[in-house]
Chains A and B, each alone.
Chain A
Amino acid sequence: MIVLGIESSAHTFGVGIVTDSKESFILADERIQYVPKHGGIHPRESSRFLAEKAPAVIEKALESASLHPAELNAIAVALGPGLGPCLRVGATAARTLALFLRKPLVPVNHAVAHVEIGLKLTALQDPVVVYLSGGNTAVIAYVEKRYRVFGETLDIALGNLLDTFARETTLGPPYIINGLHVVDKCAESGKKFLEDFPYVVKGQDVAFSGLLTAALRAYRRGVDIHDICLTLREIAYNSVLEVAARCLMHTKKKEVMLVGGVAASPILREKFIKMAEKYNALVGVVPPQYAVDNGVMIAWTGLLAFKSGVVIDPKAAFVRQRWRIDEVEILWK
């Protein structure tokens, strides 16, 4: 079975083609990313960019897989969660492909896809999933047919915290240099731990907006930026680690998986490995290439869903900007 998947939830238009019949399941992985000249991702600007590049990316994917469109079994598309205008680009492309090629259309939840591609690539069985990206901070575990959210951020996401801080203090953009976030880099020369930064863990939930405010205030007061970076990072990372540890204990699972864009941070990864050692758990880190948004994860999840009979009428395939991971019934487990 061969499935083509389309991802366009934020700044990436990705097209992946996967198969379930071979050892190397990825037949094609093409993507293009919108990089804003300044500031964050503007949904309109990003969607325009994606719409412009979409046809070429799809064509390239089919080419690199050396497939004729007729050989595809289904078209999968990420219908949410994400930025509305951007999601619509992928949805429009997918609906058109499905109708024109007369192929079934499979709806995929972007967050589920992050988890599924992680499971496939890390070969973990039943992990506590720590999903950290620009828009998400959640600790998730599979319980009875659903990926259930055990803890999440009550305000801004971890990636958002780091990026916003970097932007306001002119450390970025770009936010990632040589695989290291600029805040991580800046923290390297931090020496002193600053007092009075809020460390907010409420049960299994975290909150970062107060931390961001405290950090920016300190910056404006003229406190050494390296010390601020160090304090900010340690408090932010540690609160996520604490929540993950709590979830490990609560669910009694023995594996931890890191997914999402922020999971690429080598510093965070090292902390997780140390933490997991203490709890006798295995850590799986999704390779950075597939930890960020991509089409392969949509195609792979689409394939799993399609095999369990999940299809959607193109007429009803609207985007869902707020489609929580725990709303999706996982039929293939």
Chain B
Amino acid sequence: MEVEPIPLRELLGEDVVIISSNSTEKIPLLTNLKLLTMGAEAYIFRAKFMDFEVIVKWRFPKSYVPKELDEKIRKSRTKLEAKVMWKALALGIKVPIPLFVDLDSGVLIMTFIDGIVLRDAAEKINKSTMCKVVETVGSYAAMLHMNGIAHGDLTTSNVIIANDGVYLIDFGLATFTKRSEDMAIDIHVFFRSLESTHHRIEDFAKECFVNGYRQVAGNSNTELLIKAVNSIRLRGRYVAARKLRTEWVM
């Protein structure tokens, strides 16, 4: 795939001067840029940012979206993503550390997390490890929710199992919100990613998730949220459990 990372090329050309008491050193800002994958809205590169192993996320312009809308979405998402990540870090949740942001070109540079994605690991790891991981994800979700953050795209693709713990990544759709609806959607989305990709262990994994969530959020909060999740689920098309419109109880 042909990539034209124009804003990155500019960064690649820059140098950083490090001045210490006895010497002055000049090192390139960004080196070893390698395309890792293409996300749904961004290119993900692996690179070296000064001395850090990093991930460079570049939200590329989309030719099929009008320029104004595209720029607006890219800018606001990049900004929000970095903000939410800082907040998550402050809460003690393991997420990549944002190091550099360029809003106009939609570039976000963050620390690289070495590990495997839960989506790929789910079928390989044993049940109790899987449960522990999903439980941690549940507790992270609860911590975010208690502090007014919804992840927005909580799927098994966005969880990395590293040596030093479970990391949550991709806050591209995260929002600051107080609505329990947004929190419930997080859980709905996570459950659905379990159902659609890992349906063999779906019930088991859901239980682990709820356990983790309960430990942080407490019983009553969790029950309320599960209720909201079920009501969201019933809003899908042609859900048999949903009765006639006149019987809806809000």
Say whether B173 contacts A203, CB under 8 Å: yes
B38's contact among A81, A152, A249, by CB below 8 Å, is which? A249
In the bound complex, how far is the Cα of B231 from the Cα of A155, in angstroms? 12
Contact surface of B with A, Cβ cutoff 8 Å: 1, 38-41, 62-66, 68-69, 73, 119, 152-155, 157, 173, 182, 185-186, 189, 192-193, 195-197, 199, 232, 235-240, 242
Q: How far is the CB of B231 from chain A (nearest CB, A)?
A: 11
Q: Within 8 Å of chain B (Cβ to Cβ): is A204?
A: yes
Say whether A203 contacts B154, CB under 8 Å: yes
Q: How far is the CB of A322 from chain B (nearest CB, A)?
A: 4
Say whether A203 contacts B40, CB under 8 Å: no
In the bound complex, how far is the Cα of B63 from the Cα of A246, in angstroms? 17
Known: A138-B237, A203-B155, A323-B238. A245 touches B40 (CB 8 A): yes
Say whether A278 contacts B196, CB under 8 Å: no
In the bound complex, how far is the Cα of B64 from the Cα of A270, in angstroms? 8
Say whether B235 contacts A193, CB under 8 Å: no
Q: How far is the CB of B99 from chain A (nearest CB, A)?
A: 24
Give the interface SS of chain A, mostly helix, strand, loop or mixed.
mixed
Residues of B within 8 A of A141 (CB): 196
Residues of B within 8 A of A157 (CB): 237
Q: Within 8 Å of chain B (Cβ to Cβ): is A136?
A: yes
Interface stretch (choices A20-28, A169-177, A233-241): A233-241
Contact surface of A with B, Cβ cutoff 8 Å: 80-81, 135-136, 138, 141, 143-144, 148-150, 152-155, 157, 193, 199, 201-205, 230, 234-235, 238, 241-242, 245-246, 248-250, 270-272, 274-275, 278-280, 320-324, 327
Residues of A within 8 A of B196 (CB): 141, 143, 148-150
Residues of B within 8 A of A136 (CB): 237
Say whether A154 contacts B155, CB under 8 Å: no
Known: A143-B196, A202-B173, A234-B69. A275 touches B236 (CB 8 A): no
Residues of A within 8 A of B152 (CB): 202-203
Give the interface SS of chain B, mostly helix, strand, loop or mixed.
loop
In the bound complex, how far is the Cα of B235 from the Cα of A155, in angstroms? 7
In the complex, given contacts A136-B237, A149-B236, A193-B66, what are 6 additional A-B residue pairs having Cβ atoms less than 8 angstroms apart? Answer: A143-B196, A152-B236, A199-B73, A203-B173, A234-B65, A238-B69
Residues of B within 8 A of A205 (CB): 185, 189
Residues of B within 8 A of A234 (CB): 65-66, 69
Which residue in chain B gives the minimum CB-CB distance to A202?
A: B185
A274's contact among B40, B41, B64, by CB below 8 Å, is which? B64
Known: A149-B196, A275-B64. A154 touches B238 (CB 8 A): no
Say whether B1 contacts A280, CB under 8 Å: yes
In the bound complex, how far is the Cα of B235 from the Cα of A150, in angstroms? 15
Say whether B237 contacts A203, CB under 8 Å: no
Known: A242-B40, A274-B63. A321 touches B238 (CB 8 A): yes
Q: How far is the CB of A14 from chain B (nearest CB, A)?
A: 20
